[in-house]
Structure 1
Amino acid sequence: MEIVTSEFFQRALIGGLLIGVTAPLMGIFLVLRRLSMIGDTLSHVSIAGVALGFLIGVYPVAVGLVFAVAASFAIEKLRKAYKSYAELSIAIIMSGGVALASILFTMGKGFNVNVTGYLFGSIYTLSNIDLITIAVVTVVVLVAIRLQVKELFLLTFDEDAAAVSGLPVRFYNVMISVLTALVISASIKIVGALLVSALLTIPAACSLIIARSFRQSIITVVIIGEIAVICGLMIAGIWNLAPGGTIVLLLIVILLGLLLFKRGIRTGS
């Protein structure tokens, strides 16, 4: 248990707790709007930005953040161009992100080892700059959602009604995409680009099983996200496992447990 008192583990815990709030919180909006795959898309684009950051010697998370935000605007633009096939925007941007990342990887073979940490997570290497970045993103997301929760609720469940009522739908769509991009960019060093979508979607999937209202869903996703992060980090630290993978597998275990519990209740009744 000595690892719990170490400085690097405490930094990891702080970063994990912050992301454990924001990632599931944004995830509930994405899942309810059937945009679950946007997490994978923006994370792949972020990795391209991280690779470029290493290549040009700039803070990788910052470059990844810029790439993810730019991709969020592009997704929203393409969603408008393909109104009947909105999922095409996600597929197109993801393809571009993967292609660009692969090119940048070949251009900078010397930093491939460093980028691996961003692919699979490297929470134990969080620096003070990383924590400040994560904290700023957390504040921005929480403030934005708190101030616009009613509008986001209407947009999430009935976009057409929101437009008819005079809500600036395009603005809020872009806002959700940008906030998601910020969260993903801040998360990739914690759980990794290949796993970050799990932190967005699995808590939301859990909330759909047990929550009875939108308010309950918001509370539930945050609780489940925090439980998974705290317990996942403790398990990974004690048994020397990969933190990101442990957190995601624990989320899946929670989801399966809730499904079995719900099935048991139905069978019993």
Structure 2
Amino acid sequence: MLQILDYEFMRLAIVAAVFTGLAAPAIGTYMVQRRLALLGDGLGHVALTGVAIGLLTGTAPLLTALVVAVLGAVLIEVLRTFTRTSGDVALAMLFYGGIAGGVLLIGLAGEGAATLNRYLFGSITTVTPSDVTIVSVLGVVVVALCLLLAPQLFAVCQDEEHARVCGVPVRLYGVLIAVLAAATITVAMRTVGLLLVSALMVVPVAAAQQVSRSFRSTHLAAMAIGLVTAVSGVVVSFEADTAPGPTIVLLALVAFALAAVLRGVSVGLRRRSVRSP
């Protein structure tokens, strides 16, 4: 297993997987709590337009994807807050507009299906040192803010009205959650791909909810599950010669299944102990 570290592209891939595995569930926990689990899908499609702009202009696609995804995240919050448009309708509009704009611009840039698939489904083994630098910086920022601002973000996600009464700037933190989600999309773009990034935000959280009772323990457990599945997925994909992105997501689903079974067994044992004299 340690032989994979002899390859530079695998060392870079593992570093990218570490930050992706930590950042995605870190912000994903708040998205699930706020019932915006599909936000990652919507922003992922918006980020595809950013990638296409980068390819068309000769700019780093990761940076243009970050800018466009952040703008899309802010737009979603504006639509939810100041118009009659509901959150799911706003996501749907960005979902379709993002994918259409991305495919159109990538075609204009003269890129083919291979380039499109690289960003839609991830290509972690082709990341460059500059990509890893961007992913690492964004990952540290996302994780740090998610942990340091946990009380405020939890308050906004749990009950916006109560948080507003308590003096919490709900709109500001709502925008921050969306912006952090956009940054995470950029982090995970080269790891699991834009079409699968939402799974890494949601599935580890769902798995952690099976075995945790408090929000804090769920948050930390989700990050641990995300880290293990992301790194394991890279290693397994190398050994089995499979696509890294889908492998990571499937391992996350396996973790959820195991956690659900563990919870079922635990509940059964507690009920049996209560019934026993």
Q: Please indicate the TM-score interval, normalised by the length of the shorter structure.
A: over 0.9
CA distance in 1, matches of 2:81, 2:31: 17
CA distance in 1, matches of 2:159, 2:111: 49
Q: Give 1:233's aligned residue.
A: 234
Deviations 1:146-190 (A, max 9, x none): 332211121111111011111111110011110110110121111
CA distance in 2, matches of 1:17, 1:158: 32
CA distance in 2, matches of 1:36, 1:87: 10
SS, match of residue 111 in structure 2: helix
* Pair 1:143 & 2:158 matched: no
* Pair 1:201 & 2:197 matched: no
Identity between Structure 1 and Structure 2 (%): 35
Distance 1:169 1:200, change over 3 A: same
Following superposition, the deviation at residue 111 of structure 1 comes to: 4.5
Cα RMSD (Å): 1.5
Q: Give 1:192's aligned residue.
A: 193
CA distance in 2, matches of 1:65, 1:217: 28
Distance 1:205 1:73, change over 3 A: same
Following superposition, the deviation at residue 3 of structure 1 comes to: 2.8
Q: Give 1:223's aligned residue.
A: 224
Matches within 5 A, 1:15-164: 15-82=16-83, 85-164=86-165
SS, match of residue 194 in structure 1: coil
Q: Which deviates further from its counterpart, 225-234 or 79-88?
A: 79-88
- TM-score, length of structure 2 as denominator length: 0.92
Q: Is the 8 A contact 1:27 1:201 kept in 2?
A: yes
Counterpart of 2:200 in structure 1: which amino acid? L
CA distance in 1, matches of 2:126, 2:107: 25
Q: Which deviates further from its counterpart, 89-98 or 218-227?
A: 89-98
SS, match of residue 241 in structure 1: coil
CA distance in 1, matches of 2:40, 2:67: 15
Q: Which deviates further from its counterpart, 145-154 or 225-234?
A: 145-154
CA distance in 2, matches of 1:213, 1:83: 34
Counterpart of 1:169 in structure 2: which amino acid? V
- TM-score, length of structure 1 as denominator length: 0.95
Counterpart of 1:32 in structure 2: which amino acid? Q
Counterpart of 1:78 in structure 2: which amino acid? L
Q: Is the 8 A contact 1:40 1:196 kept in 2?
A: yes
CA distance in 2, matches of 1:32, 1:129: 34
Gaps of at least 5 residues in structure 2 are 272-277
Q: Is the 8 A contact 2:121 2:245 kept in 1?
A: yes
